[in-house]
């Protein structure tokens, strides 16, 4: 079997899909994307295609090593996301070739169902109770919300109090039957992160996410002294080497590698195993499309330290298209009482509606994240 063609599709709301064709008629799908830099990642995938076309798709580990180590300069979000999408597509082909789910090729599933969570409240969190009620009624038992608006290095306690009040309103409505994660989104700097983490401890959250940017992970040592809430991070870390020191330092309780950014299924499975050795939980980051989510579910199915999975259905980014629009087996991600069943189909377990993909690609997108500024005009993390 040989790879004959690699097709890329830029589809709304902000995704890039990859279709890898073979001479045996087996097609694999991947989702190589950096949100806001789809065109850059597309070019990186095209660059790798010079090596891959004509090759057997089945020796995935060797292809991964060549793509990663074959360049003198390695890593970074764009290159690792290109590798990630290619890797997903190769695993999809391999699963279809052997008529098995990817997780069976990675050792087999260790769970029958998987807990999921949904987003509520948007970039600037508002209307949380109403939004959470809609999700609860749909069968969702866990949510995640952005914690703050923009925040300066040192800022007013009024902003901290506003976050606390919003979470208090959710606890008043749902008590502890609703699990709540709060994403600091890297918007909060070390000094204010300590204050916010301590203030939110009273609400017994499922986790706080990215209390500081990953390039400032050493600050987790200090922040962890101010909270008993589990600390999650890792969506902006792109390989096992990025995660190595985080795990050794021991201040993260949950890692969140993104299977479309951190080298794909091959790499995230290794990162998950590393985390298990450090008694750290896995909750893959995935505010993306159906292919990325399907790849995450394959890893979750065979990773004992996976405890919950992010998914993007109805997320505030999904303007003009949503996750289920591009697949025909829409029941693949239906959850009940907060869980989905582990899929049993071959490969990634999703069936892509190519007609819909082609239609969306004609329009494309040029999604960029907003630029925020603090009250004094300085750049603020979004």
Which one, of 250, 213, 205, 210, lies nearest residue 230 by Cα?
A: 205
Whole-angstrom CA distances from 12 to 9, 136, 279 are: 10, 27, 38
CA–CA separation, 360 and 364 (whole Å):
6
* Of 171, 165, 221, nearest in space to 196 by CA: 165
Nearest alpha-carbon partner for 289 in 352, 359, 331, 345? 352
* Distance in angstroms (rounded) separating the CA atoms of residues 99 and 197: 47
State the Cα–Cα distance between residues 67 and 264, nearest whole angstrom: 12
Stated as kind and residue range, the H or E segment containing 379 is strand 379-380
CA atoms within 13 A on the CB side of 41: 32
Say how many C-beta atoms besides its own lie within 10 A of residue 249's C-beta: 14
User: Can you point out the beta strands (E) in 14-170?
Assistant: 15-22, 27-30, 113-119, 142-146
Q: Which two tokens stand for residue 196?
A: 């916010």
Strands (E), 293-364: 309-310, 339-341
Catalytic residue ranges: 185, 285
**352 forms bridges with which residues in the sheet?**
327
CA 298 distance to own-chain centroid: 13
Q: Is there a contact between 28 and 63 (Cβ–Cβ < 8 Å)?
A: no
The residues, ordered by sequence, that sit 6+ positions from 194 with a Cβ below 8 Å of its Cβ are 222, 223, 226
* 298 touches 91 (CB < 8 A): yes
The region that residue 71 occupies, defined by phi over 0 for left and psi between -120 and 50 for alpha, beta otherwise, is: beta
Ramachandran angles phi, psi of 270, nearest 5°: -70, -40
The H or E element that residue 67 is part of is helix 60-69
CA of residue 112 relative to chain centroid, distance: 21
């Amino acid at each position: 079997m040989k790879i004959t063609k690699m097709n890329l599709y830029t589809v709304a709301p902000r995704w890039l899909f990859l279709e890898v064709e073979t001479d045996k008629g087996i097609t694999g799908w991947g989702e190589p994307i950096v949100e806001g830099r789809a065109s850059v990642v597309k070019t990186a995938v095209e660059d790798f295609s010079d090596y891959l076309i004509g090759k057997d798709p089945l020796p995935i580990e060797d292809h991964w090593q060549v793509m990663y180590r074959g360049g003198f300069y390695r890593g970074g979000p764009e290159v690792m996301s290109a590798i990630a999408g290619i890797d997903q597509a190769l695993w999809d082909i391999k699963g279809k070739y052997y008529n098995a789910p990817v997780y069976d090729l990675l050792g087999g599933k260790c769970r029958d169902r998987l807990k999921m969570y949904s987003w509520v409240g948007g970039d600037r969190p508002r209307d949380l109770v109403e939004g959470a009620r809609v999700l609860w009624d749909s069968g969702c038992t866990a949510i995640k919300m952005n914690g703050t608006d923009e925040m300066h290095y040192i800022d007013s306690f009024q902003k901290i109090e506003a976050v606390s009040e919003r979470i208090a309103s959710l606890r008043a409505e749902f008590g502890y039957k609703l699990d709540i994660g709060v994403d600091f989104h890297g918007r909060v700097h070390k000094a204010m992160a300590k204050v916010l983490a301590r203030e939110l401890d009273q609400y017994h959250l499922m986790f706080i996410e990215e209390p500081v940017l990953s390039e400032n992970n050493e600050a987790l040592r200090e922040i962890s002294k101010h909270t008993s809430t589990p600390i999650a991070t890792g969506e902006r870390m792109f390989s096992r080497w990025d995660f190595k020191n985080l795990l050794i330092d021991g201040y993260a309780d949950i890692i969140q590698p993104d299977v479309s950014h951190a080298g794909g299924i091959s790499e995230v499975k290794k990162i998950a195993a590393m985390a298990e050795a450090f008694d750290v939980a896995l909750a893959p980051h995935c505010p993306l499309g159906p292919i990325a989510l399907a790849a995450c579910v394959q890893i979750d199915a065979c990773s004992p330290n996976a405890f919950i999975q992010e998914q993007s259905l109805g997320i505030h980014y999904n303007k003009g298209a949503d996750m289920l629009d591009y697949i025909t087996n829409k029941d693949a991600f239906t959850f009940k009482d907060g869980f989905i069943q582990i899929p049993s189909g071959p490969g990634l377990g999703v069936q892509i509606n190519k007609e819909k993909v082609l239609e969306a690609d004609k329009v494309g997108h040029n999604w960029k994240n907003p630029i925020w500024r603090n009250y004094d005009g300085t750049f603020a993390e979004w």
